[in-house]
Structures are given as C-alpha cells and as structure tokens.
Amino acid sequence: MTAPAASAIDPATGRALKLWVVLSRATASIEKRAREDVARHDLTLAEFGVLEALYHKGPMLAGEVQRRTLVSSGGITYLVDRLTARGLVERRPCPDDRRANYVALTPEGTTFIHSIFPEHAAVIAEVMSALAPEEQETTARLLRKLGLSLRQAPETSG
C-alpha cells in the first residue's frame, strides 16, 4: 500500500519510465562533471559547445551552431556575444545572404579551445570508462535510434 499507483502501471510503461529515470540521472551526473570541468576555464557547457563546434567544423552560420548546440535562437546570440566579448569568436557577414552571419573562432579562440579540449575529452573518456568499449557502442547505437525517432516524429499521437 506504499505504492498507490505504481501497481496500476503496465509493464511496458514501467519499463519506459524506468529507462527515463536512469537516462536522466546518468545524463545529469555526467553533465555535472562536465560542467565542473569547463568551469575551471570560466566557461559554461553551452559556451564550450559553441567553441567545440567551431573548432571541429570551422566557421558556421549562427543558425547551424544553434541547431548543433541545442540552444534557442536567443541563446545563441547571447553565447556569441559573451564569447565575442572575450575575444574567442567573431561574427563575419555572410556574402551570399545578408540576413545571416558566420561565427568563427579567432586565433585566440582557436588556441584556447585547442589547449583545453583534450583535457575535457579525457574527462569524458574517464567518465565513460565505466562501460567497456563494446558497451559504449551498444549504448550509443540504441540512444541514437531513440533520438532519431524523436526528431522524425515530433507529434505522433492524436
């Protein structure tokens, strides 16, 4: 009688809920660790994400960075403003489309992310080392499947 409604949950739903809880917790734990790591350099995870995206993909349109880093359109402006103020990135007008503009690392920004990325990657690697390589790949494959299904079918029921 201590679990009033849980008993009314069918197995499939219970399984889904359990997965959701575990997924949330694991992500929160890792995020916390990652956040602490980048905080040493006075960065938020979102800021780090922008730098990393530019580092690995080169200059991108603001909208691309936005989609890649999963922040709102207002958020990307804020982030780029902050990083610009620190001299790590810069805006460049897009010649083809004057509505848009590129965001690119400055030389300082490149040096900076180049120096801190490996440490951060090492932290993530250590965190994930709780799983064997094969397990990591299995998890990634399943989560990718899950994530893709959500982007393809935003609203199904009705």
Q: Report what 91 binds from DNA, its own copies, none; CB cut-off 5-8 Å by kind.
A: DNA
For every residue of 11-76, DSSP letters joined together read: HHHHHHHHHHHHHHHHHHHHHHHHHHHHHTTT--HHHHHHHHHHHHH-SEEHHHHHHHHT--HHHH
Please list every residue from 41 through 100 that binds its own copies, using CB under 8 A. Answer: 55-58, 70
SS3 86: coil
- Among 44, 78, 93, 124, contact with its own copies (rule: CB under 8 A): 124
Does 16 bind its own copies (CB under 8 A)? Our answer is yes
Mask 89-108, x = binds DNA (CB under 7 A)? --x--x--xxxxx-------
Contact 44, 76 (CB under 8 A): no
C-alpha distance from residue 122 to each of 2, 3, 28, 60 (Å):
44, 42, 18, 26
Judged by beta carbon, residue 61 or residue 117, the one nearer its own copies is 117
Chain residues in the site for its own copies (CB under 8 A): 2-6, 8-9, 12-13, 15-20, 22-31, 33-34, 55-58, 70, 110, 114, 117-118, 121-131, 133, 135-140, 142-151, 156-157
